[in-house]
Structure 1
Amino acid sequence: MTPTPAPDDTLAQLKAGKLQGAKQLKLSAQLTQFPAEIFDVADSLEILDLSGNALTDLPSDLSSLKKLRILFCSNNQFTHLPEVLGQCENLSMIGFKANQIKHIPEAAIPTHTLRWFIVTDNALSRVPHALGECSKLQKLMLAGNQLISLPASLANCHALELLRISANQFEALPEFLFDLPKLTWLAYAGNPFCNAIEQALISQHHIQHIDWQTLTLQQVLGEGASGVTYQAVMQNKNVQESVAVKLFKSGLTSDGLPRCEMHANMLAGEHPNLVGVKGVIHNHPQGIDGLVMPLLDAHLKVLAKPPSYESCTRDVYADDLTLTPQQAEFILKGITQAAEHLHAHGLMHGDLYAHNILWGPEKVVLSDLGGASFLPVDNPALTQKILQLEARALAVFAEELAAVVSNSGGGVI
């Protein structure tokens, strides 16, 4: 197998003209300028990843990359979204996470093609009305900004299925969200309107603090956008216990705040179809937030992979996955019971997907409360509207399970 070239090697190969015909290009080499040699592969380039550089702008002729579908410029130094993006005729996915973006010009939005828009962790106080013209928009990631409202034009985004507005400055949920016919996965924790709800809920629970010194990390079990999970040993007096430890990467995840995820885990408590939690980490030498959880059976398998660039909002199931109707029913029943338990404890999961589900012959578990939101329990009508979104997520999941069973020749659920 040919090793993947190091970032500097990729740039050197590009400059030497050795990447002709490349459909995908990833360059992370502390770039301050857009390499002009990228235009040498304009006839083929579809995916361009310039994340992890020091870029502040893009060339005005970027639209000459006629086949460009996907552009990532996360972790750079942009303060605005370049207007040229609106002229890119095939651009369907744009990712500018973790910049310093304060302004998105109306003209920067490719309204006819945009499906997936990520501006998480920036400094936006508003987003453009042009987003409402994006009839194909399915996924909108706005967590970690300074938004107090959404443009009313977004009510026209009838294809929108996933919305992240956590960790902003909303004083209320926009009413029109509940009229969007396909909205299914919503995360809104960490906003002023729900911070009081969160504190009221969590004040009724004892939070177990686990001293960092009692934990010995072992191998990595998994890594996601929000953090890394390790197998570990916890020393409690003279007893050693195998546990899982999740350490958060930063003060903001793609779904929201680590604080909200930790509180959601505390509120969720114990249930046979949830991971559960033992406590939060205390006294980490670098002040890193973390959770200590029970160690799940190693034989449990993740049900599906997260959405691909092409599927956008739908998980990717393995081609060879076959479920009997009984297995599918067992999985669906367990996940439904887990969701109902969360709802009864003042939570909506918000990311109810097969890639967050682990299963085996005797156990099924719904994991990852990073996208969980706190229900306005003092407003039953609004709570009911919110839970209708989760019901839609369960219905989508049931359809996916039925398709897998149907593909295996075993009938449907």
Structure 2
Amino acid sequence: MQTLKELQAGNLKNSTHIKIACGLENFPKELFSLENSLEVLDLTDNNLSSLPDDFHRFTKLKRLFLSNNQFNHVPKVLAKFPNLSMIGIRNNHIKIFEENSLPLSTRWLILTDNNLQTLPNSIGDLALLQKFMISGNQLTSLPDSISKCRNLELLRISANKLSSFPNILLSLPKLSWLAYSGNPFCKKHPNLNTKLQIIPWNELEIKELLGEGASGNIYKAIYENKEVAIKVFKGEMTSDGLPQEEMDINISMGVHENLIDVLAQVSNHPQNKDVLMLELISSAFKNLGLPPTFETCSRDIYAKDFKLSTKSALKILKGMAKAAVHMHEQNIMHGDFYAHNIMIDEDFNSILGDFGGASYYEPKDLSTHNALEQLEVRAFGCLIEELLDLSKYDREDKNIREILLSLQISCFDEIPNKRPFFNEIAKKLNKIL
């Protein structure tokens, strides 16, 4: 992180990336000394409420982060940028989002945890938009123009004020990852009433931190001489939505060999946090993929040296198809069906985790039920595509590859209701080998 003093002293000449967090209340004019070089500007964690009218002088700017500030509006000057593709302004006080406030180059937009009641119709002009995070606002509807965002792949609209599911989303040809829980139209999963064992916190022996995510921290723990995992929820709004909704889905999911099972609820946490006891996944399991980068936007990346055979890819896909069938039989959409949420061991057994983006849908509304499943099928198609790219070609596996490629194409059908369902996918995969 750079300092304001370094900037003022002229020590950051020709910098392309700048991050300053020091309680700024006014935009530091000294930044304009970088107007011909700056590509990434991060002013998160300050007290800014506006940008200067000539802010567009940063002609090379590609990514802008203004989260945790005091903005009550989306700065209209942003529309003047020719190359700005990522904009993050979460956790401000934004109520005002005027028409044509954003550049047409926008691919990734984060407005989580603000006070927006409406979106401008011009949102439909963002033809390149791939990821849009707007959970934790006050939206009562989405504009019809969002149907023109035909490249939109990931959308987060959880914890708003939507009184009905926005069916206009179901025709978007590339939408693959959708989270909408915590809206007034959302009902609680009936399995939430399942009685789980309740374990007092003081009966656990907490060990090391295993991982930290947006919604909470996971620790190894000992309970009755057995190793378990403990997830302590942060209780804060995430880009996916409310951690309470994730906890509810975890409880409601039921047991499956390709999912992480919930063992109990934990009471009496010292800071009154929500806590779940989960099965501890063996250390032999590692993440299949890594989260998207700024460059890949909506698609996962993989370790450079990671390769697998076509048969191994098939085994992973079989496990994930079974997990998906189980989830959708429970009327649950994962919402974040990505390789970075899948763990595999050396034998390519697979487990799907992280239900922060998961949502429940009503089984009686069959058309929406089917459409949401076929939406998530496209995410499965992305997984097929990525695993085929990673797998080494072997002439003996030619038939398997051809079947998987054909399945991928059907999962990518731009008319969503022409895609297969997960039970069809699972049956087709199980017929191979």
> Paired residue for 1:255, among 228, 236, 240?
240
Alignment pair present for 1:44 and 2:37:
yes
Aligned residue pairs total 398
**1:115-134 mapped onto 2 (5 Å cutoff):** 115-134=107-126
Q: Cα distance, 1:406 vs. partner?
A: 4.4
Q: Which residue in 1 is equivalent to 2:195? A: 206
Q: 2:51 and 2:274 mapped to 1: Cα distance? A: 36
Could you list the runs of 5+ residues in structure 2 that have no partner in the other structure? Answer: 405-433
8 Å contact kept, 2:189–2:252? no
Tell me which of 301, 310, 321 is aligned to 1:336: 321
> 1:407 and 1:51 mapped to 2: Cα distance?
45
Q: Find the partner of 1:168 among 155, 160, 165.
A: 160
**Aligned 8 A contact 2:235 2:244 in 1:** no
Output the CA distance in 2 between the equivalents of 1:58 and 1:221: 40
Structure 1 gaps of 5+ residues are 1-6
In structure 1, distance between residues paired with 2:251 and 2:260: 11
1:67 and 2:60 matched: yes
User: Relative to 1, partners in 2 of residues 1:360 and 1:296: Cα closer, same or farther, differing over 3 Å?
Assistant: same
- Contact map agreement 1:262 1:280 (CA 8 A) in 2: no
Report if aligned partners of 2:88, 2:109 keep a CA contact under 8 Å in 1.
yes
Q: Say which of 304, 309, 312 aligns to 1:324.
A: 309
Deviation string 1:253-285 (CA, Å, 9 cap, x unpaired) is 211111211111111122111111122332222
Partners in 2 of 1:200 and 1:365 — Cα distance?
24
Tell me what 1:155 maps to: 147
One-letter amino acid matched to 1:255: D
Structure 2 partner of 1:18: 11
Query: 1:12 corresponds to which letter in structure 2?
Result: K
SS at match of 1:19: coil
Q: Which whole-Å CA distance do the structure 1 matches of 2:35 and 2:266 have between them?
A: 49
CA distance in 1, matches of 2:218, 2:7: 36
> Does the aligned pair in 2 maintain the 1:322–1:408 contact within 8 Å?
no
Q: Distance in 1 between matches of 2:352 and 2:60?
A: 39
1:104 maps to which of 97, 105, 126? 97
In 2, Cα distance between the equivalents of 1:209 and 1:27? 45
Report sequence identity in percent: 44
CA distance in 1 between counterparts of 2:30 and 2:131 reads 31
* Alpha-carbon contact 1:62-1:88 (below 8 Å) kept: no
- The structure 1 residue matched to 2:300, chosen from 306, 312, 315, is 315
Question: 2-side partners of 1:31 and 1:218: how far apart?
Answer: 39
In 1, the alpha carbon distance for the partners of 2:10 and 2:393 equals: 45
Determine if contact 2:132/2:155 at 8 Å carries over to the other structure: yes
The amino acid that maps onto 1:90 is N
| Separation of aligned partners in 1, 2:265 and 2:26 | 43
RMSD of the TM alignment (CA)? 1.7
Q: Which residue, out of 261, 274, 277, partners 1:289?
A: 274
Distance (whole Å) between structure 1 residues aligned to residue 202 and residue 81 of structure 2: 53
SS at match of 2:232: strand
> How far is the alpha carbon of 1:103 from its aligned partner?
1.4
Q: Give the drift of 1:166.
A: 0.7
Q: Classify 1:40/1:250 alpha carbon distance in 2 versus 1 (closer, same or farther; 3 Å).
A: farther
2:214 corresponds to which letter in structure 1? A
Provide the residue aligned with 2:221 in structure 1. 232
Shift of 1:10: 2.8
Deviations 1:63-86 (A, max 9, x none): 101111111111111111111111
Residue 188 (structure 1) aligned with residue 180 (structure 2):
yes
Alpha-carbon distance between aligned partners in 1 of 2:72 and 2:203, rounded to the nearest angstrom: 43
Distance apart, 1:388 and its partner CA: 0.5
What's 2:28 paired with?
35
Choose the corresponding residue for 1:385, options 363, 371, 379. Answer: 371
Structure 1 equivalent of residue 73 of structure 2: 80
Give SS of 1:81's match. coil
Distance in 1 of aligned mates of 2:160 and 2:267: 27
Contact 2:310 2:393 in 1 (8 A): no
CA distance in 1, matches of 2:352, 2:58: 42
Q: Alignment partner for residue 136 of structure 1, among 125, 128, 150?
A: 128
Q: Is the 1:323–1:408 contact (alpha carbons within 8 Å) kept by the matching residues of 2?
A: no
TM-score (norm 1): 0.92
CA deviation after TM superposition for structure 1 residue 287, in Å: 1.9
Letter in 1 for 2:383: F
Paired position in structure 2 for 1:347: 332
Letter in 2 for 1:400: E
Which residue identity lines up with residue 260 of structure 1 in the other structure? E
Residue 319 of structure 1 deviates from its aligned partner by 2.0
| Counterparts of 2:61 and 2:136, CA distance in 1 | 27
Instruction: Assess, with a 3 A threshold, how the Cα gap between structure 1 residues 181 and 357 changes in structure 2: closer, same or farther.
Output: same
Q: Partner of 2:202: helix, strand, or coil?
A: helix
